[in-house]
Amino acid sequence: MSTTEEKDNENAEGVDPDMLIKHPLQNMWSLWFYKNDRTKSWEENLMEITTFDTVEDFWALYNHIEVVSKIPLGCDYALFKQGIKPMWEDSRNKQGGRWLLNVQKSQRNTDLNNYWLEILLCMIGEAFDEHSVDVCGAVVQIRNKGDKLGIWTADTRHQDAIMKIGTTIKDRLNLHPRNIMGYEAHSDTQVKTGSVAKCRFTI
């Protein structure tokens, strides 16, 4: 046996068994990408990239894809529990809504990536305690006038869950009190007049 092979064997034997085991998440999650191609329908532009269910696979994915501040204008990333599409029409979204945070263009290169990563970690880490079951997913939208972060919940009637999710996100993002997050029901957003849907809650 060569010296190199002996060292490899020693290293393999010396590895902590815990380091060889992936750490499972409570849910499976799917990453979606929306590409702004005006020659295609909205649904044709929405692509499911991959699904993961361990901490290690999340980081492998996150470190492999483009950071959100670098994706093209008009495009979105979405992370949703497996089986839920990032669209209002999905049966598990229909009765719900979203917390919405508007991010100024000037914050795209300073805060947006951190905000998005923190939201992802809150979701996959079940940071909302028993109310984590109400989380469907999150969407980040890169737009010319300013970017949007949305955290989607399952049911507008679950007010305790909605408030817990919203306040946790606001705390984890360390938002200034002047940064207002509003909660919109998907049903209100679909029938909104003008450019602003009615906020059912604000924090």
Per-residue model confidence as pLDDT tens for the chain (203 residues): 554 444 444 444 566 666 678 999 999 999 999 998 989 998 999 999 999 999 999 999 999 999 999 999 999 999 999 999 999 999 999 999 999 999 999 999 999 999 999 999 999 999 999 999 999 999 999 999 999 999 999 999 999 999 999 999 999 999 988 889 999 999 888 776 545 567 787 89
In DSSP terms, 32 is beta-bridged to 48, 78
Dihedral pair phi/psi, residue 146, rounded to 5°:
150, 150
In DSSP terms, 9 is beta-bridged to none
The pair of three-digit structure tokens given for residue 104, joined into one six-digit string: 């100024």
The residue among 150, 143, 140, 136 whose CA lies nearest residue 183 is 150
Say what the pTM is: 0.87
The pair of three-digit structure tokens given for residue 161, joined into one six-digit string: 């869950």
Q: Which residue has the tokens 């469907």?
A: 136
Helix, coil or strand: residue 55:
helix
